[in-house]
């Protein structure tokens, strides 16, 4: 079914919207929804959050005058309707332009976008800054922060609300309450939201009022007329206002309304009748199996996620089986790490799984709450490595972030046997906070059992002994090391030594010394940022010696949906380019 | 006046307390207070927070059975009374032992201490972990988290409360509400606390109830009898309980009750009649003057602090003059950075000052909210460098933390002329998020005006040209570089090149290449952790060349009140040790 454009034809920018009748706006909502579903089913992307924001976004742009009035989207994965209305509808209606625009707000795309954001809980603080600057300049526009879809559980959101509430001038916070995070919402606050919904906003005990906001409730968050009326009422307010807006995640698409968690974000083709998910083993499933088995023999094992159970194999079936031994803390990474530290201190065996990009949200807790206390929690870092992702979700920085914290043991398995051995060692030991960089991509098997005793820290493994050149291939880049070794043999006749370091957080000084005997070049390969990373420490170790050292990894930069092959070329991360660099150094 | 010991003589451990009469406990409170004042006036330390917790701590240890029942102190700078009652009173009564115990909880000192903590807002999350582990093990003890004294404004506290409220088992959170942070409390929540105090806890709109806690209010937070009665009431609760306890910061010492901010933490001798504060210029005062002047000519300049105005020269007089151009966001570093980013985006000139140790609390906001958006906010990082501080307040890690984030410009001035020039450049430019590592220690003047155009990034400065050895002395260690140069000349007859890099975040590749001509050794000196820091990047740059590189800085470790000279010896950071290392490399 191809939908004929009616209203959308006439709408490119917010000013076009202001000429529409209510009936036309309702039709526009249907059209936008239609194209979101079609486009996301082709490219993959955030589905439920955007379907829930269609009417509210239309009403916002009808009432306010963007970009003079400034709208800041939290997480910004619910900004697709906003993109339709601010000159970028072709990114949804024209399949040739499906990849033109990012899935988040992006100031370089449009003056209607204020920030590039993809991590949650940021909009209120950012908007408070815009509003305060407006006041200092003596200007008068409205500043609107949209938050919700689980973001309220993040500490930054609370810090922002607590401060925005005392601004003494115009700021309008819209809480998009769809009763969901990525998975179901967690935490005591969500009880209060429910009570407020059930009382049509009238319950006396009110989290937002307690913080000092002038509070408004709207039950019908998909009713454009009522939304417009409320937005007009609060427009140009001279004090902080908060609108609690009830919406339905996945609104207008039955499967998405029914299974809100699953349809938060979908894969290409997932809505099509012939969709079949990729089968086969992955590291998330391996984690799932390991923890379920371990839990059978030890009731103190507990799996923890900060609202991203899908990333790490914590399926609905897994959660059911784990029962009280599973905690989803909501989007609250700081709490997750401190909670894991407390659990470990009192004798439980916490395994906290999080995505590389989000571990950034908890540096101080890793350092102070966990590492300084040397509590034996296990952290699983998923998806770490160079990627073609959006700039807001890069997974390039976890090695510099984690590995320079004292006491942390950060491990880099190269295959499933090592991963499971490391995980089992970590869960059973009592001495160290351990993070494991779970390999991204397909499962690799060495075909050999791993019997390593990982309690002997910082022992690297020589996989193949050679001379002249030593290749240290960390984690997922061990496979790249193998290829480099082959090309070195083919092209230069060099039989290189191949090393699997396994430990990111320390040097095997004995081995590094031994290498001096028969090697003149050491190369390091790491799937992440070079600055502050693994390889530089090797280079520093050899600084006073005659050893030449070449470090390969990512440049310090934010990349934005750059294809992986392009990045590998740019960073000299192909076997041929690496061998060329070695040759130049010989 | 020397106080004769009465009750304290009989009390070493919690069990001793349980034998006392109420009258004796009240006398004990007086005695503890007396010794806290005396000790802190000798050694310096946290005064107000501890005076406010004397009675509550006595009542806690009377009612609960520590260490079976587990008490977690937030920030833990209010744990001195707890130390009196758990075997460590000599650290306060015996001047010879004044330095025996740390000013924070420390598990290595006592089984009554559960975590080493000094950053705020952590206790509820850590306690939630202890409580959940207890449940998994089928045990029954009480878990008590103490929070307050400003910590409630921190996002981690909120994440912790939001999750603790849904634990479905025993956890008792005690909010020590003294109506203060380090400076006055900030944010909308504090209005709600005031309303709750004014209604004796009866106001319907209640932040803690909104989060789902069973809430109790106690007005008389210094009345041991009433505290005991309330603690007995909630002891062994089967669900999350929150006690809102009103106390007086600085209780029992008139000056501290009157000026709560000033007496939060005092210098040695500050309570003595003949105390005179160190006079003279410091970098905080220079910052204060610069901002006041700049504000006169530009009303968009705004100074921001996350509750530590004293660190950076934001005196009461400064705040008065800056008026609306000053924001104390409370202990909310994440908000502070995002807020600064929003301010900069909308054309204001934010200058956010924070202590090196606390910048750790905001890595993700630096990366996502600020650097990814390239908004031109200025961050002033105070007190960065190796120190003899407590393990919870180390200032060694800010270079690895900040400098590996793309887009950030991190500057290291070596003298006041450079500092002021950099600050002025940063405030006036529109291109980069800039952090400046404000020198710690006494003000150094080069005696020369600095006219550098810092918009030309990553240009190092050769201060003295020589040969053979090049010394790159970063920031405060430029002075060390000068000394090394002198010893090299004296001992080895080498006239070394001396370089002031000024930029932490990038390499001057042209200069590094040029050095190859007449130098065979480069040394880097940095006042911070080597791992992930400045020097390693220089070493990596030279990895494929014949240049020998030696990096000097701190080892990756948490040190705990180790004297600076000891650390300098350990890390080879004296001119003689450095020259020895160079000699070994020649």
Candidates A369, A359, A439; CA nearest to A402 is: A359
Report the mean per-residue pLDDT for chain B: 95
Which residues, in sequence order, are CB contacts of B162 under 8 Å at separation 6+? Answer: A153, A186, A187, A188, A189, A330, A332, A335, B211
Structure tokens at B177: 């509400």
Q: Are A198 and A50 in a shared domain? A: yes
C-beta atoms of B136 and A348 within 8 A: yes
- Is B2 inside a domain boundary? no
Q: CA of B313: how far to CAs of B46, B294, B305, B367, B510, in Å?
A: 19, 15, 10, 27, 38
DSSP structural state of residue B427:
H
Please tell me the predicted confidence (pLDDT) of residue A179: 80
Please tell me the predicted confidence (pLDDT) of residue A182: 54
C-beta atoms of A211 and B213 within 8 A: no
C-beta atoms of A325 and B371 within 8 A: no
A295 to chain B: closest CA residue = B136
Q: Are B14 and B82 in a shared domain? A: yes
Q: Are A509 and B505 in contact (CB under 8 A)?
A: no
Strands (E), A99-206: 143-148, 171-177
Q: What is the pTM of this model?
A: 0.96
**Which helix (H) or strand (E) is B38 found in, with range?**
helix B22-43
Tell me which of A266, A292, A311 is where a domain ends. A266
Residue B542 has pLDDT above 80, yes or no: yes
Which residues on A lie below 8 Å from B537 (Cβ)? 531, 536
Q: Are B64 and B121 in a shared domain? A: yes
Give the residue from A126, A202, A395 with the most B CB atoms within 10 Å of its CB, the best one to mutate. A126
Please tell me the predicted confidence (pLDDT) of residue A424: 98
- H-assigned helices in B346-415: 356-359, 363-364, 398-403
Of B163, B165, B210, the CB nearest to A206: B210
φ/ψ bin of A502: left (φ > 0), alpha (ψ from -120 to 50), beta (otherwise): left
Give a three-class secondary structure readout of A107-119.
CCCCCCCCCCCCC
Q: Are A397 and A504 in a shared domain? A: no
Torsions phi, psi for A33 (to 5 deg): -60, -45
C-beta atoms of B135 and A346 within 8 A: no
C-beta atoms of A540 and B530 within 8 A: yes
Of B157, B188, B545, the CB nearest to A166: B188
A365 to chain B: closest CA residue = B361
Report the CATH number at residue B329.
3.40.50.970
- Give the pLDDT confidence of B495-504 residue by residue, as tens digits: 999 999 999 9
Q: Are B210 and B184 in contact (CB under 8 A)?
A: no
B557 to chain A: closest CA residue = A406
Q: Are A430 and A482 in a shared domain? A: no
Confidence bin at B453 (pLDDT 50/70/90): very high
Q: Measured between CA atoms, how close is A521 to chain B, in angstroms?
A: 8
C-beta atoms of A125 and B161 within 8 A: no
| Number of cross-chain residue pairs from A and B with Cβ atoms under 8 Å apart | 413
Separation CA A390–CA A498 (nearest Å)? 33
Please tell me the predicted confidence (pLDDT) of residue B275: 84
Q: Are B364 and B422 in a shared domain? A: yes
For residue B95, how many other CB atoms are within 10 A of its CB?
Answer: 12
A209 to chain B: closest CA residue = B205
Q: Are A176 and A245 in contact (CB under 8 A)?
A: yes
Between β-strands B45-46 and B265-266, what pairing exists: parallel, antiparallel or unpaired?
antiparallel
Separation CA B418–CA B399 (nearest Å)? 19
Report the CATH number at residue A575.
3.40.50.920
First-to-last CA distance in chain A? 63
Q: CA of A262: how far to CAs of A259, A426, A566, B427, B499, in Å?
A: 6, 31, 32, 46, 57
- Is B448 inside a domain boundary? no
Q: Are B550 and B407 in a shared domain? A: no
- Is A375 inside a domain boundary? yes
- Is B549 inside a domain boundary? yes
Separation CA B557–CA B537 (nearest Å)? 20
Please tell me the predicted confidence (pLDDT) of residue B76: 80
- Is A27 inside a domain boundary? yes
Residue B112 has pLDDT above 80, yes or no: yes
Split chain A (586 residues) into runs of 10 and give each run's mean pLDDT.
Answer: 75 97 97 96 92 97 98 92 97 96 95 95 97 97 92 95 96 91 71 94 97 97 98 98 95 91 88 81 96 97 95 95 96 97 98 97 97 98 97 97 98 98 98 97 95 98 98 98 98 98 98 98 98 98 97 98 97 98 95
User: What is the percent of chain B with per-residue pLDDT over 90, rounded to a whole number?
Assistant: 91
Q: Are A524 and A562 in a shared domain? A: yes
Tell me which of B404, B437, B470 is where a domain ends. B437
- Is B455 inside a domain boundary? no
Which residues on A lie below 8 Å from B551 (Cβ)? 540, 543
ipTM: 0.96
Name the one residue in this structure whose structure tokens are 């006239």.
B495
Please tell me the predicted confidence (pLDDT) of residue A181: 56
Range of the domain at B356: 283-437
Which residues on B lie below 8 Å from A406 (Cβ)? 556-558
Confidence bin at B341 (pLDDT 50/70/90): very high
Split into its structural domains, chain B has a count of 3
Give the residue from A123, A169, A338, A458 with the most B CB atoms within 10 Å of its CB, the best one to mutate. A338
C-beta atoms of A129 and B350 within 8 A: yes
Confidence bin at B5 (pLDDT 50/70/90): low
Q: CA of A66: how far to CAs of A15, A73, A112, B373, in Å?
A: 9, 13, 6, 20
Of A302, A334, A391, the CB nearest to B159: A334
Candidates B53, B242, B252; CA nearest to B152 is: B242
Which residues on A lie below 8 Å from B207 (Cβ)? 207, 210-211
Please tell me the predicted confidence (pLDDT) of residue B1: 44
- Is A275 inside a domain boundary? no
Q: Are B176 and B33 in a shared domain? A: yes
- Give the pLDDT confidence of B160-174 residue by residue, as tens digits: 999 999 999 999 999
For residue A138, how many other CB atoms are within 10 A of its CB?
Answer: 8
Separation CA A88–CA A108 (nearest Å)? 12
Of B127, B332, B361, the CB nearest to A163: B332
B174 or B76, greater pLDDT: B174
C-beta atoms of A404 and B127 within 8 A: no
- Is A446 inside a domain boundary? no
Which residues on B lie below 8 Å from A344 (Cβ)? 129, 133
Q: Are B80 and B162 in a shared domain? A: yes
Residue B376 has pLDDT above 60, yes or no: yes
Q: Are A176 and A133 in a shared domain? A: yes
Which residues on B lie below 8 Å from A340 (Cβ)? 129
- Give the pLDDT confidence of B198-229 residue by residue, as tens digits: 999 999 999 999 999 999 999 999 999 999 99
B74 to chain A: closest CA residue = A369
Q: In the β-sheet with A143-148, what is the strand arrangement from edge to edge?
A: A70-73, A143-148, A171-177, A240-246, A214-218
What is the mean predicted confidence (pLDDT) over B408-429?
A: 98
Separation CA B73–CA B67 (nearest Å)? 13
C-beta atoms of B407 and A558 within 8 A: yes
Please tell me the predicted confidence (pLDDT) of residue A1: 44
Between β-strands B326-328 and B301-305, what pairing exists: parallel, antiparallel or unpaired?
parallel
Q: Measured between CA atoms, how close is A237 to chain B, in angstroms?
A: 18
Tell me which of B236, B266, B296 is where a domain ends. B266
C-beta atoms of A551 and B540 within 8 A: yes
Which residues on B lie below 8 Å from A207 (Cβ)? 207, 210-211
First-to-last CA distance in chain B? 63
Q: Are B344 and B206 in a shared domain? A: no
∠ Cα A26 A32 A36 (to 5°): 145
Structure tokens at A433: 């906070």
């Amino acid at each position: 079914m191809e939908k004929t454009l009616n209203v959308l034809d006439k709408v490119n920018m917010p000013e076009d919207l202001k000429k529409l009748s209510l009936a036309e706006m309702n039709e526009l909502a249907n059209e936008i929804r239609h194209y979101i579903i079609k486009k996301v089913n082709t490219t993959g992307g955030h589905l439920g959050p955007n379907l829930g924001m269609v009417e509210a976004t239309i009403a916002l742009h009808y009432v306010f005058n963007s970009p003079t009035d400034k709208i800041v989207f939290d997480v910004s994965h619910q900004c697709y309707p906003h993109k339709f209305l601010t000159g970028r509808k072709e990114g949804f209606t024209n399949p040739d332009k499906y990849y033109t625009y990012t899935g988040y707000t992006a100031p370089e795309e449009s003056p209607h976008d204020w920030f590039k954001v993809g991590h949650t809980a940021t909009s209120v603080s950012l908007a408070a800054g815009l509003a305060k600057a407006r006041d200092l300049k003596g200007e008068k526009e409205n500043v609107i922060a949209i938050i919700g879809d689980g973001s309220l559980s993040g500490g930054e959101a609370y810090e922002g609300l607590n401060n925005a509430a005392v601004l003494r001038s115009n700021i309008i916070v819209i809480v998009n309450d769809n009763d969901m995070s990525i998975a179901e919402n967690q935490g005591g606050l969500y009880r209060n939201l429910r009570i407020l919904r059930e009382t049509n906003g009238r319950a006396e005990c009110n989290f937002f009022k307690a913080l000092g906001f002038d509070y408004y409730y709207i039950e019908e968050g998909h009713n454009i007329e009522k939304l417009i009326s409320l937005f007009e009422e609060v427009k140009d307010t001279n004090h902080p206002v908060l609108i609690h807006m009830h919406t339905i995640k996945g609104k207008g698409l039955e499967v998405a309304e029914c299974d809100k968690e699953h349809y938060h974000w979908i894969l290409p083709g997932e809505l099509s009748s012939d969709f079949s998910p990729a089968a086969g083993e992955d590291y998330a499933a391996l984690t799932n199996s390991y923890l379920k088995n371990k839990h059978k023999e030890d009731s103190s094992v507990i799996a923890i996620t900060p609202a991203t159970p899908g990333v790490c194999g914590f399926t609905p079936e897994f959660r059911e089986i784990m029962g009280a031994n599973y905690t989803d803390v909501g989007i609250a990474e700081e709490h997750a790490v401190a909670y894991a530290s407390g659990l470990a201190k009192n004798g439980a065996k916490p395994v906290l799984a999080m995505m590389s990009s989000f571990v950034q949200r908890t540096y101080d807790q890793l350092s102070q709450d966990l590492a300084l206390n040397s509590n034996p929690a296990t952290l699983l870092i998923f998806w770490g490595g160079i990627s073609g992702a959006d700039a807001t979700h890069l997974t390039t920085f976890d090695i510099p972030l984690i590995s320079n914290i004292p006491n942390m043991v950060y491990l880099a398995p190269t295959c499933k046997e090592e991963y499971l051995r490391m995980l089992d060692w970590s869960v059973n030991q009592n001495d160290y906070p351990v993070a494991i960089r779970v390999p991204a991509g397909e499962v690799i098997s060495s075909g050999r059992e791993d019997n390593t005793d990982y309690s002997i820290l910082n022992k690297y493994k020589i996989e193949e002994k050679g001379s002249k050149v030593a290749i240290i291939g960390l984690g997922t880049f061990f496979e790249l090391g193998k290829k480099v070794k082959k090309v070195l043999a083919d092209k230069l006749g060099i039989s290189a030594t191949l090393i699997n370091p396994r430990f990111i957080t320390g040097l095997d000084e004995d081995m590094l010394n031994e290498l001096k005997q028969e090697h003149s070049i050491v190369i390091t390969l790491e799937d992440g940022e070079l600055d502050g990373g693994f390889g530089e420490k090797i280079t520093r170790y050899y600084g006073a010696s005659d050893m030449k050292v070449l470090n390969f990894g990512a440049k310090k930069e934010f990349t934005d949906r750059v294809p992986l092959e392009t990045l590998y070329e740019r960073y000299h991360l192909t076997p041929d380019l690496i061998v060329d660099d070695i040759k130049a150094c010989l």
